[in-house]
Structure 1
Amino acid sequence: MAVTLEIDHAKARAKAAAAAGLPVVPQAVQGPIRRNKWGILLLTLSIYYVTPFIRWDRGPNAPDQAVLLDFANGRLYAFFVEIWPQDLYLVTGLLVLASTILILTNALAGRLWCGFACPQTVWTDLFLLVERLTEGDRRQRLRNIGVPLTPKRAVRIVAKHATWLLISLATGGTLIFYFTDAPGLLRGLGAGNFSATALTWIAVFTGTTYGLAGFAREQVCTFMCPWPRLQGAIWDPEAYTVNYRDYRGEQRTSAKKAAELRLRGEAAGDCVDCGQCVAVCPIGIDIREGPNFACINCGLCVDACDGVMAKLGRPRGLIDYESWANIERGRSKESLRNRLLRPKTVGLAAACLALAGTIGVAFAMRTTATLSVQHDRDPVAVRLSDGSLRNAYTVKLLNKSASPHRYTLSVGGIDARLSIVGGDGVAPIKVAAESSESLRVTLTAADAEQKDVVFIARDETGSTLYATDRFVER
């Protein structure tokens, strides 16, 4: 079965609201989904604001911040994980894994990430809470649109924007803490001792948070975020997304008229067209009009509708997390089916496990030292006066450990004399802790034979590194 995600009514509603000068003003709602969203909001914000201040002992001469993006020194730290530029393939793998998990989540429950844990959703919810506490709930805020400004209302507006700016400042400042020592920068900010660069980035991120969460809000989710555009390609009718059970709700009529119709034995839908599902929607759409690319699957309309159904003594679930395939089965009077386990989701889950396993193995097998060799290109080989052939190479030793090492360099696979240019023969090469050493070496062979050559570096502990290159004739 196929269905096209509807976008026209979302665009029309946005244009009509903009033309009338009416912003989307969602109404507060209570219910289990709203409580879950508050819990996730508290959890995610706590993680974001607290993480830079968590300490992690990595030994002497190493930063003790648990999560640190130390771009100046080319390091990414996350608790016991330390990523060097040479390990960026692990970061790439994690990004691919995260994308695959997001696609799997979409196949199971649509835009669940968008509705519950996306930073735009979390901070918008927080800003809306501040707005309700300072200016009142939806009715009051709608009444205030276009009316003369009073001193009392001016104070409320100033309090709202001041709180928004404080939250934005805390958000922008915390983001900077991930790139430097958080306690040190915080003390510097308190003492007025900070760099212009840090101040600039704090101002940029503060303004971004203030603008996106305070004003753009649903426009970010509907028009700026690329994820809704992908919905048309990966939307799955078997995914449990927020949907309206129209086979139960139609025809819409008032509760009084529905009771009269039922007394006469005539059919009446459960939907009383109260509009609560639209009023609480942070995007401002009407889920009863069908699947919508703008819906972030937050489920607040489910709480609103369930509350109305409870007051009317009718079963909950008129709007619910339900697959579109089951909606169509309900229309046809077929039995509903749960198809969360299907080839697509099983395959995506297997892909996630395979990617996670591969990344884990790659992380476990990575070493604290690497050896790389690059052959000189101009010239690639030199014929000496005695008839022997010389090739030159740049050898790089990287020591990622917290202690210095001494390496002895040798070659295998070829009968050639190794010399370090500008060095003392082949004396041990000293590589300081968390640093690298580059040196030029030459191989001189009496027999001009083209073959592979293996460079071998052994440290004082007996650990051996290998790198293969080519000895060429010309």
Structure 2
Amino acid sequence: MSQSTTPSLYAAREPIFPRRVSGKFRTLKWAIMAVTLGIYYLTPWIRWDRGPELPDQAVLVDMAGRRFFFFWIEIWPHEFYFVAGLLIMAGLGLFLFTSALGRVWCGYACPQTVWTDLFILTERWVEGDRNARVRLWNAPWSLNKARLRLTKWAIWLAIGVATGGAWVFYFADAPTLLRELVAGQAHPVAYGTVLTLTATTFLFGGFFREQICIYACPWPRIQSAMMDEETITIGYRDWRGEPRGKASKARAAAGQPPAFRAQEAALASGAVTFAGVEPVAAGVAAAPRLVGDCVDCMACVNVCPMGIDIRNGQQMECITCGLCIDACDEVMDKLGRERGLIDYFTLKDEQVERAGGKAKKIWRHILRPRTILYTGLWSLVGVGLIVALFIRPAIEVDVSPVRNPLYITLSDGTIRNAYDLRIRNKHGEERRFSLSYSAEADLDVAVEGAENGIITVPADQTGDARVYVEASPGSTAAEAGRTDLRLWITDLADAERASVDTLFNGKAD
């Protein structure tokens, strides 16, 4: 009795060993990697005077005070809409760049891509270029293989530690925290965070490189909704490259009769198209096309960090990093052929070129209704945040009436209401505030424990005060149910004022 075998849905990872390549896109990736890593590692060390109460750090996430500092900008908990606005701008920006230029974020600026490039660079320094790494991978374990692997892993681990260490420096004074980490005196949360980020950087950048992009990241599946036939992305001009052949065959084709060379010129210029073998324009004898520009050297595959063959068409795994373009252009230069067999272009341009037409200018692909809409929305949110940032006050006040009881009657018949007042001082120095009121009735205002009714609030902090508002016996406010009341605070340093509206509860309430 035979048993059917259920096929496994698991596919083991095939290791990828990208070959070193040089060119304009590789240079661009090096530059972006240097800038992004420099910003990440160095930003916590930029100093900024924040007064005596806070670390002198330009970018700081103050978890204890529930605030975020970015140079001269300070975001308080109730101003989270600034963070929400930035996240919306980031999303719209991602939509904009993807609809215009494909997955340029993934190929050039995504943290997974940046750290993977750094890890591959380390791997190449230690173990050599592609062929050497392939040989080492297939070789049996030896002292030399163990030495190279341990050296590579040690450097990866150091990069991971630096990554986790840089992250925790954003949440405390960087020089102080560094001394505490080295001395073993830092908070366990700091060590736990560094350990977690070290492990994830080590594993994601070293062992799970392309799996993160293919399986863990949702963007490859979302990007198809952002792209259309006008999106500039990487593609292979198969009408020019096919059928593939070795360079020796291409050189042999150069010695063919004029009729054959005329056909080749017609095909190369786009005067005709083909699928396998097709005749050419009228007046040229029909002849099979022996070889296209692609010499099947596999250079585009060998440099791809995702291990795909772009000649098979656009694929979900492609991060449009441009390295295959550099590799192909290098081969075309050696063969004396025109660059651009693999290039950035649009599907519409490919169809036009195949028919012998001329591709549109890049700016005409970028400036179209979809990208203009995204740009407009992105700009609208950005302008709104800037306006909100500049019009927000430097002092704010909130009030909470004490509800139990609503009021009390003193021995002489005076009606008293109590309020909890909160003053936010967003200045970098201590400020003193006086309290006053405006209402359609005569009231008395007093601050509990404050000399002369002056409330002192430390720099970049919230000050609390208990305020009593009283109405004399028989007065309008005392006899009425509710009286509108506005409390004012005045900064004694620069006379800036802020107010908050509330109610005074009388006996008729």
TM-score grouping bracket, smaller chain normalisation:
0.7 to 0.9
Aligned-partner Cα distance in 2 for 1:468–1:377: 16
Q: 2:131 aligns with which of 136, 139, 143?
A: 139
Deviations 1:206-232 (A, max 9, x none): 111101101111111111112222212
For structure 1, which segment, 444-453 or 116-125, has the greater mean C-alpha deviation from structure 2 after superposition?
Answer: 444-453
Q: 2:495 aligns with which of 440, 462, 468?
A: 462
Q: Between Structure 1 and Structure 2, how many residues are aligned?
A: 458
Q: 1:432 aligns with which of 433, 453, 458?
A: 458
Q: 1:37 aligns with which of 29, 33, 43?
A: 29
Q: Which residue of 1 aligns with 2:111?
A: 119
Report how far residue 160 of structure 1 moved: 0.8
CA contact (8 A) 2:181 2:191 kept: no
AA in 2 matched with 1:269: G
Q: Which residue of 1 aligns with 2:346?
A: 323
Q: TM-score when scaled to structure 2? A: 0.82
Q: Which residue of 1 aligns with 2:167?
A: 175
CA contact (8 A) 2:157 2:198 kept: yes
Deviations 1:33-70 (A, max 9, x none): 11121122122222222222222223444421222222
State yes or no: 1:159 paired with 2:151. yes
Report how far residue 89 of structure 1 moved: 2.0
RMSD: 2.8
For structure 1, which segment, 414-423 or 344-353, has the greater mean C-alpha deviation from structure 2 after superposition?
Answer: 414-423
AA in 2 matched with 1:466: S
Structure 2 vs 1, CA of residues 426 and 153 (structure 1 numbering), >3 Å: closer, same or farther? Answer: same
Report how far residue 378 of structure 1 moved: 5.7
Rg larger for = 2
AA in 1 matched with 2:464: S
Q: Which residue of 2 aligns with 1:409?
A: 435
Gap runs ≥5 in structure 2: 1-8, 264-287, 472-476
Aligned-partner Cα distance in 1 for 2:92–2:390: 22
Structure 2 vs 1, CA of residues 416 and 375 (structure 1 numbering), >3 Å: closer, same or farther? Answer: farther
Structure 2 vs 1, CA of residues 454 and 257 (structure 1 numbering), >3 Å: closer, same or farther? Answer: same
Aligned-partner Cα distance in 2 for 1:420–1:232: 64
State yes or no: 1:108 paired with 2:134. no
Report how far residue 392 of structure 1 moved: 5.0
Q: 1:95 aligns with which of 81, 87, 94?
A: 87
State yes or no: 1:310 paired with 2:343. no
CA contact (8 A) 1:252 1:269 kept: yes
AA in 1 matched with 2:154: A
For structure 1, which segment, 271-280 or 255-264, has the greater mean C-alpha deviation from structure 2 after superposition?
Answer: 255-264
Aligned-partner Cα distance in 2 for 1:301–1:380: 74
Aligned-partner Cα distance in 2 for 1:219–1:347: 33
CA contact (8 A) 1:389 1:448 kept: no
State yes or no: 1:282 paired with 2:305. yes
Aligned-partner Cα distance in 1 for 2:387–2:398: 22
Report how far residue 325 of structure 1 moved: 2.2
Q: Which residue of 2 aligns with 1:293?
A: 316
Report how far residue 161 of structure 1 moved: 0.8
Taking the TM superposition and a 5 Å limit, the aligned residue runs for 1:263-278 are 263=256, 264=260, 265=263, 266-267=288-289, 268-278=291-301
Structure 2 vs 1, CA of residues 233 and 375 (structure 1 numbering), >3 Å: closer, same or farther? Answer: farther
For structure 1, which segment, 403-412 or 421-430, has the greater mean C-alpha deviation from structure 2 after superposition?
Answer: 421-430
State yes or no: 1:353 paired with 2:345. no
AA in 1 matched with 2:386: G
Aligned-partner Cα distance in 2 for 1:439–1:411: 15
Aligned-partner Cα distance in 1 for 2:465–2:158: 53
CA contact (8 A) 1:418 1:426 kept: no
Q: Which residue of 2 aligns with 1:6?
A: none
Q: TM-score when scaled to structure 1? A: 0.87
Q: Which residue of 1 aligns with 2:425?
A: 399
| 3-state SS of paired residue (1:248) | helix
Q: Which residue of 1 aligns with 2:283?
A: none
Report how far residue 195 of structure 1 moved: 3.2
Gap runs ≥5 in structure 1: 1-14
Q: Which residue of 1 aligns with 2:16?
A: 24
Q: 1:255 aligns with which of 224, 247, 267?
A: 247
AA in 1 matched with 2:65: N
| 3-state SS of paired residue (2:248) | helix
Task: Give identity over the alignment, percent.
Answer: 44
Report how far residue 92 of structure 1 moved: 1.9
For structure 1, which segment, 187-196 or 347-356, has the greater mean C-alpha deviation from structure 2 after superposition?
Answer: 187-196
Aligned-partner Cα distance in 1 for 2:403–2:236: 67
Aligned-partner Cα distance in 1 for 2:239–2:402: 74
Aligned-partner Cα distance in 2 for 1:341–1:389: 68
CA contact (8 A) 1:457 1:465 kept: yes
